[in-house]
Amino acid sequence: MTLQSVAVGEAAEHGAHAAAARRRTLGGVAVVGLGYWGPNWARNLYQMQCARRVVCCDFSHQRLAHVKNLYPAIETTTELDDVLRDSGIEAVIVATPVSTHFDIASRSLAAGKSTLVEKPLATSAPAAHRLRTMARERGVTLMVGHTFEYSAPVLKIREIICSGELGDIFYVSSVRANLGLFQRDVNVAWDLATHDISIILMLLGQMPHEVSCHGQSHYRHNMEDVAMLTLRFANNLIAFVHVSWLDPNKIRRATIVGSRKMLVYDDTALQEKIRVYDKGVTISPYYDTYGDFQMSYRYGDVYIPRIEESEPLKVECEHFIDCIIRGRTPKTDATSGLRVVSVLEACERSLRSGGAFVPIEPGIEG
Ligand SMILES: NC(=O)c1ccc[n+]([C@@H]2O[C@H](COP(=O)([O-])OP(=O)(O)OC[C@H]3O[C@@H](n4cnc5c(N)ncnc54)[C@H](O)[C@@H]3O)[C@@H](O)[C@H]2O)c1
């Protein structure tokens, strides 16, 4: 994986998409799962008018009534099979609990629908791998909802790193904490750290070679509500990710330290989310005795880059529709989803073995 390949998300035309490329809107798009997050998808699809029909599917009549009340033109159903049998629906967005992703996404792909699966793509690397193969065999788009890869501040940070302004990256330290929302089927790493891992892999343009994870469950057996991940990369580059559902404050903060400059990203700030600090350390190259060892600290200016903000989910939604219509490979394609799942899976193994470092299995690309 190179930075360019991650950054640009190279376009690849699929033969099966040629007919779709002549159209500018889709016939129908379905959102499956209208709990906490799914209604945001329904809103964006409804407002963008990128499909002639928007169909919402959930077991819960109450959730369906809620979205129907907000967006009267949408259609609703409690049956996933209604969506899968409907030849007018070309794309399905899976916004159900993580443990259901593989089952729903594989049925959607088997029905020939382009599919977007919310993060993380699946609960294991083999399952993510299988989804990628199914999408390829059927020539349909498969995308994963790594929303922060569509966020303007994250894209700006990547631009700053790629320009070399920070120098060689030494480490990344990321904190994502708040009180709740506890998930029923996955621990806090699979829920929250998914975001940080996808951001870090995208910013650094490489996979870690080993990871370790410590965590603790306080409310439910083997369902950690606080965790600390360590990702080791080549050339001494290291990343730390602290995630928690048990924190009094909402924190969304990452620090990136380079050999030239340092950057702090605070996603909870209403404005001025990124600050670049001209701070660093220099070691004198010459000294005769240990006592002569000299470090000098540079305390320079701080600047705040200008960012054109837009809702990341809207950008992501437009990208998904555009990839289907043009037959392009999404920036956050199945391989991107597989990379993140592979890191999470290794973290899970580390967690179950007391935090030992666990290598990342090769064989993700391709
Ligand atoms: N990208 C982001 O920033 C972001 C943010 C939050 C959540 N998410 C992801 O969104 C997904 C959903 O999370 P949530 O917090 O909204 O969960 P939730 O539990 O609040 O809602 C899930 C909904 O799915 C419905 N459902 C479950 N199985 C179904 C099925 N087979 N058919 C129809 N409906 C079904 C449930 O009835 C429920 O209403 C998860 O994958 C989560 O990781 C992504």
Low-confidence ranges of the chain (pLDDT < 50): 2-22
**Cα 220 to ligand 1 centre (Å):** 20
Ligand 1 centroid–CA 274 distance in Å is: 30
In the chain, which residue ranges form alpha helices assigned H by DSSP? Answer: 3-8, 18-21, 38-48, 61-70, 80-85, 101-110, 125-138, 152-163, 188, 194-204, 312-326, 334-352
Other Cβ atoms within 10 Å of 152 Cβ, number: 16
Residue 337 is given by DSSP the state H
Amino acid at 196: D
Measured CA to CA, the distance from residue 185 to residue 199 in angstroms comes to 23
Altogether, the residues listed in the chain come to a count of 366
Is the CB–ligand 1 distance for residue 337 below 6 Å?
Answer: no
Encoded tokens for 66: 């809620």
- Say if CB 319 and CB 150 are below 8 A apart: yes
d(CA 271, CA 230): 29
Model pLDDT, residue 349: 97
Compute the distance from residue 96 Cα to the ligand 1 centre, in Å: 3
**Rounded to 10 degrees, what is the CA torsion of 99, 333, 191, 198?**
160
CA of 36 to the centre of ligand 1 (A): 7
| pLDDT value, residue 295 | 83
- The CATH code that applies to domain 3-148+316-328 is 3.40.50.720
How far does residue 119's CA lie from ligand 1's centre (Å)? 10
Give the containing element (helix H, strand E) for 301: strand 295-303
How high is the pLDDT of residue 296?
A: 87
What is the CB-side half-sphere exposure of residue 301 using CA atoms within 13 A? 3
- Tell me the C-alpha distance between 105 and 123, whole Å: 12
Please work out whether the CB of residue 57 comes within 6 Å of at least one atom of ligand 1.
Answer: yes
Task: Tell me if 32 CB under 6 Å of ligand 1.
Answer: yes
Ligand 1 center to residue 125 CA distance, Å? 20
- The CB of 92 under 6 Å from ligand 1? The reply is no
Q: Under a CB-based contact definition with an 8 Å cutoff, are residues 316 and 155 in contact?
A: no
Q: Is 118 in the pocket of ligand 1 (CB under 6 A)?
A: yes
Identify the three-state secondary structure at position 352.
Answer: helix
Instruction: Give, using CA atoms, the residue closest to atom 33 of ligand 1.
Output: 58
Residue ranges per structural domain of the chain: 3-148+316-328, 151-311+345-359
Predicted confidence at residue 103, as pLDDT, reads 98
Give the CATH number of domain 151-311+345-359; options: 3.40.50.1820, 3.20.20.70, 3.40.366.10, 3.30.360.10: 3.30.360.10
Q: What is the pLDDT of residue 10?
A: 36
Does 338 contact ligand 1 (Cβ within 6 A)?
A: no
How far is the C-alpha of 21 from the C-alpha of 323, rounded, in Å? 9
Q: SS3 sequence, 118-146?
A: ECCCCCCHHHHHHHHHHHHHHCCCEEEEC
Q: Which atom of ligand 1 is nearest to the CA of 147?
A: 1
Residue 9: what pLDDT? 38
Question: What pLDDT score was predicted for residue 291?
Answer: 63
Burial 283-308 (b: 16+ CB within 10 A, else e): eeeeeeeeeeeeeeeeeeeeeeeebe
CB 228 within 8 A of CB 173: no
Between CA 68 and CA 62 the distance in angstroms is 10
Please give the number of the atom of ligand 1 that sits closest to the Cα of 57. Answer: 33
If one counts every other C-beta atom within 10 angstroms of the C-beta of residue 164, the result is 10
Task: Give the separation between CA 256 and CA 41, rounded to whole angstroms.
Answer: 31
Q: For the whole prediction, is pTM greater than 0.85?
A: yes
Going by C-alpha positions, the residue among 50, 13, 54, 70 that lies closest to residue 317 is 50
